[in-house]
Chains A and B, each alone.
Chain A
């Protein structure tokens, strides 16, 4: 049997375990999160970073043997069970609207109301946190709302923008450039640097969007 994963070097102090087999897979993600939990707190490991069907581990290479870490990741993946994190539940109120909403509706061939209902009708799971402080990569987007990201990212997409890009959904934690499309806005706070755990959401959490209004 061939291995269903690849481990590559990410410089001298990190390894990337990639278990993706085409499109994002929830079962594999649950196994990865279980592996991440089992690695957290290991002496010498600085960071355990779940991505979308991948996991990066960063460590002090003068304190941790790289070959040993590679074996640990491989064995850990093979034996990881999709136990699933309990995950907290979040309801996030969204005022739908803004300049992209109509464009998205036109691009996917739905009415604005249908776009809003499909976006708010889905149950999302936080697959990973990253890129920006506290930014959640949400899986579970209705495939009918899937549309390619912009070729050129737009500057200054505002904090609180509720966005979709490719098959993923997310929320902007800070005002920053993004190639994703905005469907609305929320006041939900995703990041507070004064907290020990600064990100509000965590991988495994469940998110539902509530329609607080639709502006046209």
Chain B
């Protein structure tokens, strides 16, 4: 068990999210920064479907009831285990009674805390992720509160060396200025060349309307040249919609499964985590890439993760 000592309603149990139920109106949900979740699980030898805690409200504090392994990844934030400061993207053995404290991030929005065996919630619709919007999954379908006690799964065998192990930054993680790569979407050609150019060159500003459902951006109005009524259609996280206001909204983990707004582009899966780590006031830019570029980026991320998993396994001693 772990006990939550200090939390906010935005902190929730998350895993890789739900698949196969978009056609029932069930959002993907899951971690907003999937590579950070995957790295945390990889560092401690967890199954890739293991659930962790997504921390978006700080300071966050929990206590371990039993000896286990813990990994902390994601946003740059000071984390301390039993008073000892942890390096970034770090995994370490925790003793029964130890407290883990995470301070507000200096860069980024969300920190991931994975524990050996994962947070053991019953599977709901194939996943343990909390859908905060719809109020199901995770721990009672809600954010974590002080006093919540979360059961843990069976921890993988072996222990980490004294002092723990860390992960190098994933691809692109250290370059905050890199644009979000997008593929043109269905209504791309409804916008004039000039507007498309504007979309892909200006600095967009993340507004306060940014949550697990989506992120509204501030900047110039994107006026659609060709106005036509769209029928409702399936959408995925990453979809950049342009509502009549002309200010784009990027759909994220808890996006509605269908929408009706024109779609100018879609953020490639490999870059979606950047919006999961964006805070109001951040500047973002878009860059249009090809299908092959999008695929190559995804492959690089998968290779990096596989490498991390192999390396972390070498450090585990029984």
List residues of chain A with CB under 8 Å of any chain B CB. 6, 8-14, 16, 18, 20, 24, 36, 46-56, 58, 61-62, 66, 128-135, 137, 168, 173-174, 191, 193-194, 197-199, 203
B239 and A10 contacting across the interface, CB-CB below 8 Å: yes
B20 surroundings in chain A (CB, below 8 A): 46-47
| B231 contact set on A, CB distance < 8 A | 20, 24, 51-54
- In-complex Cβ contact of B186 among A12, A16, A58, A61 (8 A): A16
| Contact across chains for A58 and B22 when beta carbons are under 8 A apart | yes
Q: Is B197 an interface residue (CB 8 A)?
A: no
Q: Say yes or no: B233 contacts A198, CB within 8 Å.
A: no
Chain B interfacial residues counted at CB < 8 A: 46
Question: What is the count of residue pairs linking A and B with beta-carbon distances less than 8 angstroms?
Answer: 154
Query: How far, in angstroms, from A6 to B198 measured CA to CA in the complex?
Result: 25
**Top 6 closest pairs, chain A to chain B, by CB:** A56-B234, A130-B258, A49-B234, A11-B266, A52-B231, A51-B233
Closest to A65 in B: B295
The answer for the CA separation of A80 and B270 in the assembled complex, in Å, is: 34
Closest Cβ of chain A to B154, distance in Å, is 25
B24 touches A66 (CB 8 A): no
Q: Which of B135, B238, B258, B302 interacts with A62 by CB under 8 Å?
A: B302
Establish whether residues B259 and A131, one from each chain, have CB atoms under 8 Å apart when the complex forms.
yes
User: B125 an interface residue at 8 Å Cβ cutoff?
Assistant: yes
Chain B window 205-237, contacts with chain A (Cβ cutoff 8 Å), 1 for yes, 0 for no: 000000000000000000000000011111110
Smallest CB separation, B79 vs chain A (Å): 32
A-B contact pairs, 5 of them (CB 8 A): A8-B186, A18-B233, A52-B231, A56-B22, A193-B136
Q: Which of B21, B184, B295, B298 contacts A198 (CB 8 A)?
A: B21
Indicate whether B183 reaches chain A with its CB closer than 8 angstroms.
yes
| Nearest CB on B from A169, distance (A) | 13
Query: Please, how many angstroms separate the alpha-carbon atoms of A173 and B257 in the complex?
Result: 14
What is the chain A residue whose CB lies nearest that of B135?
A174
Q: Considering the chains assembled together, what is the distance between the CA atoms of A26 and B263 in angstroms?
A: 24
Chain A residues with CB below 8 A from B230, complex form = 20
Given the complex, which residues of B lie within 8 Å of A194, measured CB to CB? 124
Q: List, in ascending order, chain A residues with CB within 8 A of B188's CB.
A: 8
Q: Which of B26, B186, B259, B270 contacts A133 (CB 8 A)?
A: B26
Q: Which A residues touch B233, using CB under 8 A? A: 16, 18, 51-52, 54, 56
In the assembled complex, B146 has its CB within 8 A of some CB on chain A: no
A11 lies within 8 A of B234 (CB): no
Q: Is the CB of A129 within 8 A of B23?
A: yes
Identify B24's interface contact among A11, A62, A168, A198, CB under 8 A: A198
Decide: A173 and B25 in contact? CB cutoff 8 A: yes
In angstroms, how far is the closest chain A Cβ from the Cβ of B133? 8
Residues of chain B from 291 to 305 with CB closer than 8 A to chain A in the complex: 291, 294-295, 297-299, 302
Q: Indicate whether B256 reaches chain A with its CB closer than 8 angstroms.
A: yes
Output the residue of A9, A61, A194 with the most chain B CB within 10 A. Answer: A9
Q: Tell me if B134 counts as interface (CB < 8 A to partner A).
A: yes
Residues of B22-37 at the interface with A, using a CB-CB cut-off of 8 Å, are 22-27
How far in angstroms is the closest Cβ of chain A from B132?
A: 13
B224 to chain A, nearest CB (A): 15
Q: Give the contacting residue for B256; candidates A6, A131, A191; CB below 8 A.
A: A131
Are the C-beta atoms of A46 and B19 separated by less than 8 Å? yes
A124 CB to nearest chain B CB (Å): 15
Give the distance to chain A from B249, nearest Cβ to Cβ, in Å. Answer: 13
Name the one of A20, A131, A174, A193 contacting B258, with C-beta atoms under 8 angstroms: A131
Return A23 CB to nearest CB of chain B, in Å. 9
| Contacts known (A130-B22, A130-B257); A193 close to B291, Cβ less than 8 A | no
Determine the residue in chain B with the shortest Cβ distance to A8. B186
Contact B25–A47 (Cβ < 8 Å): no
Determine whether the beta carbon of A14 is less than 8 Å from that of B232: no
Interface contacts beyond A14-B266, A54-B234, A129-B24: sample of 16 additional A-B pairs, CB < 8 Å, sorted by A: A8-B186, A10-B239, A12-B291, A12-B298, A14-B236, A49-B258, A50-B23, A51-B258, A54-B231, A56-B233, A61-B269, A128-B232, A131-B256, A174-B134, A193-B136, A199-B25
